[in-house]
A and B are shown apart, each in its own frame.
Chain A
């Protein structure tokens, strides 16, 4: 038995969620009394992993993995899993990690539990806690298989430093063929993405129109936050779909979620409920969001937001 963590990187840097997955993997390995290894594809920053407790770092350096392919990555991971005799594979909840988690489970003929928010309650039987019904409930879920694949929800476990002088090994992958190829990647530059963000600034129909989003973006910039929006705002084309959060949009599990001019409909709340601290700015004291919030300002967004930006900048 051993724990294996997939460490996602981009532009030769590990994602914060990779360190969180490793922190989780290390804690799980300790609980099970086994070793934890990390798998790295084409990233030379392995030293930064020692801080989070890896016993071994397995590096795959191959131009075949320069562009992301869920099939190639999953097959490579399946080879490492077999060679390491892993019992538990830990992934983060980023888009690509979830993509791999599902695909890898199919290839390995096992199951995958995503949205896991804590270490297992017990190892035998193996019971983990995950969110379900889009954050309206939690489930203690038993995993009944020899190989368990676990997706850790962002910001749920946190980063836990645990210095360990990991050994580094390279692994040679037996290639699989794929007729799938990437033609183009279009990225918005400079903006923080919702999945990676510690702080999310979100706005709704209360903003009246797309021309009023400048202050939302400024507030987000001031806090190093990602921007998000309610469903009608993206349906009306005021903001891109990728910003739509809620039950039918993206889930948010940031440390801080600021909702501006959003009423707090059940479908909206469902998606953002696992954010730790919620702040609401709304001119209607009866808005349901106040019942779900930690801090609130009853006031006009067009006055409160600029004043808040000014004060934050003056800090």
Chain B
């Protein structure tokens, strides 16, 4: 089985979020980049499938040279091969189009994307890919079993879980639950050494036009001071919530 895991290079969760160029661009100065957490759950699952039934795992990112650091990390975690499509990832649409073009050249049985990235939170790439390629699609995926050509997936829904089955090829949007936090693979020395020998292919981009453009970023306004209430004056809290904030 051929698995493609699409990886997004995102600012570390503790990053200070600032903007430059007249608030039109994210300030990446001093920012540490990580594998998007939702993607990492998917990657771990793919590596497990490789270990249990010999799947082939390719990781792919659409991005500039700097994104290769996380691709090497993915190889150290256990992917067989990495691909970077060489262009700036400008919006979900153009990224998904670039990935689609690659998927026209190689048949993947399973495409794993994170449910959403923690930077732009669009949650769009897996759905676009499924739509472009006319593959089956399950997002918010919290469990996945593939037997021959049949996939059984669980998806988190409002207030519960939905279990469905379908034929591959399939695109999933992965998230925590597909594997647990404690299952995430921390690369060891051997993995890191092996990663250096594994192929990292750079593919020329099609340079698709973006369909959305961030014109200007804004930061939330500074909050006013918290109103403190003493533990023995809870009536006051209830009064605030009822009459001032009007939320209960």
Contacts and interface: CB of A to CB of B under 8 A. Distances in A.
B234 interface: yes
Contact of B124 (A111, A276, A300, A304): A111
A249 B212 CA distance: 26
A102 B38 contact: no
A106 B96 contact: yes
Interface string A99-118: 10111111111111111000
Contact of A95 (B157, B181, B182, B224): B157
B189 interface: no
B231 interface: yes
B79 interface: no
Interface in B125-149: 125-132, 136-137, 139-140, 142
A297 B237 contact: yes
A307 B128 CA distance: 50
A298 B226 CA distance: 11
B30 to A, nearest CB: 16
Contact of A290 (B137, B156, B224, B226): B226
A256 interface: yes
Given A105-B127, A138-B217, 7 more contacts: A98-B139, A136-B220, A138-B218, A188-B159, A279-B237, A308-B237, A315-B238
Given A188-B159, A255-B247, A296-B226, A103 B137 contact: yes
A139 B159 contact: no
Interface in B105-126: 118-126
A307 B176 contact: no
A296 B219 contact: no
A304 B121 contact: no
B229 A182 contact: no
Nearest to B218: A138
A96 to B, nearest CB: 7
Contact of A182 (B131, B136, B164, B223): B164
18 contacts: A99-B127, A102-B127, A109-B131, A132-B217, A133-B17, A133-B119, A134-B121, A137-B217, A142-B214, A178-B166, A196-B158, A199-B248, A292-B223, A297-B237, A300-B231, A308-B234, A312-B238, A312-B248
Interface of A: 68, 70-71, 74, 94-96, 98-99, 101-115, 127, 131-145, 178-188, 191, 193, 195-196, 198-199, 223, 231, 235, 241-242, 244, 247-249, 251, 255-256, 266-267, 270, 273, 276-277, 279-280, 290-300, 303-304, 307-308, 311-312, 315
B215 A106 contact: no
A99 B127 CA distance: 7
A95 B118 CA distance: 17
- Which 5 pairs between the two chains have the least Cβ-Cβ distance? A106-B131, A102-B127, A299-B231, A111-B211, A187-B160
Contacts of A188: 159-160
